[in-house]
A and B are shown apart, each in its own frame.
Chain A
Amino acid sequence: MSTTALELEAVTAGYGDNPIVREFSAHLEAGTITTLLGGNGAGKSTLLRAIYGTNRLFSGRILFKGKAIERLPPWERLRRGVGFVPQGRCNFPAMSVGENLKMGCYTLPGARHEAAIGRMTDLFPLLREKWRTEAGNMSGGEQQILEMAMVLLLGPSLLLLDEPSLGLSPRMQGDVFAMVQRIAATGVTVLIVEQNVRGALLISDRALVMEQGRRFMEGSAAEVRTDPRIRQAYLGGNIKETAA
């Protein structure tokens, strides 16, 4: 029996006095990958930030594992299992990879740091090789892996990813999508905003489409990627059944 990991009820969110996402409702089943689609300025990143709690929620409810989290600060949502990797480079560039991973353990008791970091360096051996390298001196793809590892250290059950393949080579993009699939296979629910729509839909179970801050469409990833409106708007009119 499937269980709901995240439920959004009429979420209106934005920055300052400007709501960008309006009355957005959706629910995500546990252990699935959902792609959030929409044009520039549709409110995709704003919605992810609202779920993590780093922007202003005007109204609506956010239920995580059945419990309301909309009034909690980001660190409390993180403690409860909501992980968020924002768009762009989101690490500490003047710190080494090792120090970045230690910062990823910030909310864990000291006794659990070594084991948590060990799990991540086993999963991503690159991080062990680059342990002393300053994060800002690594390639975009390497930094993306580091950022995911910093969030995965805490074992989140919901992972919000904002443009994880942005600025990466096609090969690195494929690696990132494969990594997202591996993470989801462990039971983590993933909500992903991605500029490579084709690649994201191919690894997703479901898709949500936003237009001007509102929900425009929802369905299985297969339904959405064969919808003529979506093909026209986001997929250049055709789609090949191979990962990007």
Chain B
Amino acid sequence: MAIDASYLLQLMLNGLALGLLYALIAVGLSLIFGVMEIINFAHGELLMLGAFAMTFALPVMGLLYWPALAAAVVVAMLAGLVIYEILLARLRPDEFERSILITLGLSIILIHTVQYFFTATPRMVDTQYGFAGIEIGSIRLTWTRVIGAAVAIVAFAGLYLTLRFTQFGRSMRAIAQNREAALMVGIRPRTVARNAMILATGLCGLAGAALAPIQLVTPYMGQFLIFKAFALVIIGGLGSIPGAVAAAVALGLLESWIGGFFNAAWQEGAVFVIMIVVLMVRPDGLFKRGGMRVG
């Protein structure tokens, strides 16, 4: 079978755009795990809230993409703040099991609440860009995909600079690396945890808002993505931001190629096959040491 180079490139670009959006979700999960030592099972639902916020903000704003995107991110951040203050702030670092049950319960409540009010019927989201895009020869990318990938890259750059060069970001890395040392230098764990939650849910809301014009929006859309995101965090190495980004981008590419050349059913299983192999061969993940760590 001859492989058309432009087809391969098309798949690669689609995969790259998808992978960068996966990375936004995985990085947020990694940040929450590093700072609060919990796995947020409701993280996918914050993505869904971001996407639903986009479906409501766009018509209100005359289909203008950027203001709607900003509104969706703010909605997700506010939801993160409320979830933290009402539920997560009451958890101690050693209450891992309790955190699983609370966030899992919250995830189910959010899904069914959204389904009750807005039904499970998938929604299509239109923007000012419609289906317009870039065409180079036979390769075509919609603006919504290009912008989605670009905002993800800008978000990662902003996150890197924040974690590396500001006390706000360094305090998150600090508390993830050594909680007792953080107390020694006067860091307030609750404040840092709240900031991390807001930042992580903002990234997740951004992913949801950017995905909304690319795929159908449903109350269950976060569920499909969250388990992939867990797998990516494990593959990248728990607490490793570059690891989560690299694993997510690689998965986006892999899924795109698998979907392009084989039966699409294999796409969904690929990440879990890789996760199991990584856990067997390198239990600490691919990026355990070095780099920008939050755990």
Inter-subunit contact A74/B178 (CB<8 Å):
no
Inter-subunit contact A106/B187 (CB<8 Å):
yes
A102 contacts B by Cβ under 8 Å: yes
Inter-subunit contact B177/A93 (CB<8 Å):
yes
Inter-subunit contact B186/A95 (CB<8 Å):
no
Which chain A residue shows the least CB distance to B167? A106
A92 contacts B by Cβ under 8 Å: yes
- B123 contact set on A, CB distance < 8 A: none
B43 contacts A by Cβ under 8 Å: no
B194 contacts A by Cβ under 8 Å: no
Inter-subunit contact A75/B174 (CB<8 Å):
no
Interface size class of A (residues with CB under 8 A): 20 to 34
Which residues of chain A from 163 to 209 have any CB-CB distance to chain B below 8 Å in the complex? none
Name the distance in Å between B16's Cβ and chain A's nearest Cβ.
28
Chain A, residues 80-114, CB within 8 Å of chain B (1/0): the string is 00001110011111110001001110110010000
Inter-subunit contact B173/A94 (CB<8 Å):
yes
Evaluate whether A74 and B183 lie within 8 angstroms (CB atoms) in the complex, with A92-B177, A95-B177 already known: yes
- Measured between alpha carbons, how far is A3 from B178 in the docked complex, in Å? 35
Name the distance in Å between B145's Cβ and chain A's nearest Cβ.
35
Give the residue of B167, B186, B293 whose beta carbon is less than 8 angstroms from that of A75. B186
Evaluate whether A106 and B185 lie within 8 angstroms (CB atoms) in the complex, with A92-B174, A94-B173 already known: yes
- Measured between alpha carbons, how far is A214 from B134 in the docked complex, in Å? 76
B201 contacts A by Cβ under 8 Å: no
A73 contacts B by Cβ under 8 Å: yes
A130 contacts B by Cβ under 8 Å: no
B181 contacts A by Cβ under 8 Å: yes
Inter-subunit contact B181/A99 (CB<8 Å):
no
A127 contacts B by Cβ under 8 Å: no
- A52 contact set on B, CB distance < 8 A: 183
- Measured between alpha carbons, how far is A79 from B187 in the docked complex, in Å? 11
Which chain A residue shows the least CB distance to B294? A94
- Measured between alpha carbons, how far is A215 from B215 in the docked complex, in Å? 69
Evaluate whether A103 and B293 lie within 8 angstroms (CB atoms) in the complex, with A86-B184, A92-B178 already known: no
Residue numbers of A with Cβ under 8 A of B are: 52, 54, 73-75, 78-79, 84-86, 89-95, 99, 102-104, 106-107, 110, 147, 150-151, 154
Query: Can you list 18 A-B pairs with a CB-CB distance of less than 8 A?
Result: A74-B183, A78-B186, A90-B184, A91-B181, A92-B178, A93-B177, A93-B178, A94-B173, A95-B170, A95-B174, A102-B167, A103-B167, A103-B170, A103-B171, A106-B187, A107-B185, A110-B167, A147-B181
Residue numbers of B with Cβ under 8 A of A are: 167, 170-171, 173-174, 177-178, 180-188, 290, 293
Q: A78-B186, A107-B185 are in contact. List 7 more A-B contacts (CB 8 A).
A: A75-B187, A85-B184, A90-B180, A92-B174, A92-B177, A93-B178, A103-B170
* List of 7 A-B pairs having minimum Cβ-Cβ separation, nearest first: A107-B186, A75-B186, A78-B186, A90-B181, A92-B177, A94-B293, A106-B185
